Amino acid sequence: MIEDKRWKGVYSFDDSPYLMEVLTELRDKETDSIAFRKGLVKLGRFMGYEIIKTMETEKVKVETPLEETEGIIVKDRRNVVIVTVLRAAVPLMEGLVKVFEHARIGIVSASRGKAPKFEIEMNYIKIPQITPEDTVIIADPMIATGSTLLRVIEEVKKYGTPKRIIVLGVLAAPEGITRIKEKFPEVEIFVTKIDRELNDKGYILPGLGDAGDRAFGAPIKLSTLPQVHTIE
């Protein structure tokens, strides 16, 4: 885990050969949906372990069948709220809950409109109450313009004031990170890798394409389908 020199509290995992290998498979245009989803689950799980390293631990006594010894608990691991941003974060969440099995889960939908406005439509919001003991992990694989996360963070903050807000992503563009840190300097960002830039359609370069479409297949517009007539 490396803290990026450009911002405070922004970490990437260029130093982890395993995470870099999983990312390489996700970037590969030949990787199909099954392998893509599996890759996201792996990243959720192993980046989750990395987040645990930043949590406070407490010494405890434990009785083995033979004698008493010292152990630890990671108290904050029990007070986690995972907020999953539909669609692409669903497999990331699957990996995260393997590590944070006590987590309460929030699900929000956020859909990004076309360039240049990138308006965010949020019409499904289910977030549990957040307490001062909680660490909120907002899972969204792609931080591009940052518009989606700015809206989601704003929404999350209405549900309580947590101990920490962490954004967990796969790829980020510098533009998106800068926008989030300008508005919410206290938010920590953990991403597998920070990429070079955005193209004029708001896609991350070199990137991995549209994460939602690659994980679940491209949706189709209903109006382009032949209409089915039913007889009543």
Ligand X SMILES: O=P(O)(O)OC[C@H]1O[C@H](OP(=O)(O)OP(=O)(O)O)[C@H](O)[C@@H]1O
Ligand Y SMILES: O=c1cc[nH]c(=O)[nH]1
Distances (CA, A) of 89 to 30, 44, 161, 224: 21, 9, 23, 27
Q: How far is the CB of 212 from Mg ion (least distance, A)?
A: 3
List beta partners, residue 83: 106, 138
- 91 is a site residue for Mg ion (CB under 5 A): no
Among residues 118, 184, 203, 216, the one that binds ligand Y under rule CB under 6 A? 203
Of 165, 147, 7, whose CA–CA distance to 83 is shortest?
Answer: 165
Distance, in Å, from the CA atom of 217 to the CA atom of 215, rounded to the nearest integer, reads 6
**Contacted by 176, from ligand Y, Mg ion, ligand X, none: CB < 5 to 8 Å by type:** ligand X
- 141 is a site residue for ligand X (CB under 6 A): yes
**Contacted by 131, from ligand X, ligand Y, Mg ion, none: CB < 5 to 8 Å by type:** none
Q: How far is the CB of 86 from ligand X (least distance, A)?
A: 6
List beta partners, residue 136: 81, 165
Count of CB atoms within 10 A of residue 153's CB?
A: 19
Q: Which of residues 50-109 bind ligand X (CB under 6 A)?
A: 85-88
Ligand-binding site membership of 143 (annotated): yes
Tokens of residue 5, six digits = 């020199």
- 176 is a site residue for ligand X (CB under 6 A): yes
- 210 is a site residue for Mg ion (CB under 5 A): yes
Spatial contact of 126 and 107, defined as CB atoms under 8 Å apart: yes
- 210 is a site residue for ligand Y (CB under 6 A): yes
Distance, in Å, from the CA atom of 23 to the CA atom of 219, rounded to the nearest integer, reads 24
**Contacted by 110, from ligand X, ligand Y, Mg ion, none: CB < 5 to 8 Å by type:** ligand X
**Contacted by 203, from ligand X, Mg ion, ligand Y, none: CB < 5 to 8 Å by type:** ligand Y
Ligand-binding site membership of 57 (annotated): no
Distances (CA, A) of 13 to 1, 138, 140, 191: 5, 18, 16, 7
Q: How far is the CB of 204 from ligand Y (least distance, A)?
A: 4
- Kind and range of the H or E element at 71? strand 68-73
As a whole number of angstroms, the longest Cα–Cα distance in the chain is 75
Give whichever of 82 and 208 is closer to ligand Y, judged by the CB atom: 208
- Kind and range of the H or E element at 24? helix 17-27
**Contacted by 148, from Mg ion, ligand Y, ligand X, none: CB < 5 to 8 Å by type:** ligand X
Return residues touching ligand X (CB under 6 A): 85-88, 110-112, 118, 140-148, 176, 202, 210-212
Return residues touching ligand Y (CB under 6 A): 142, 144, 202-204, 207, 210-212
Return residues touching Mg ion (CB under 5 A): 210, 212
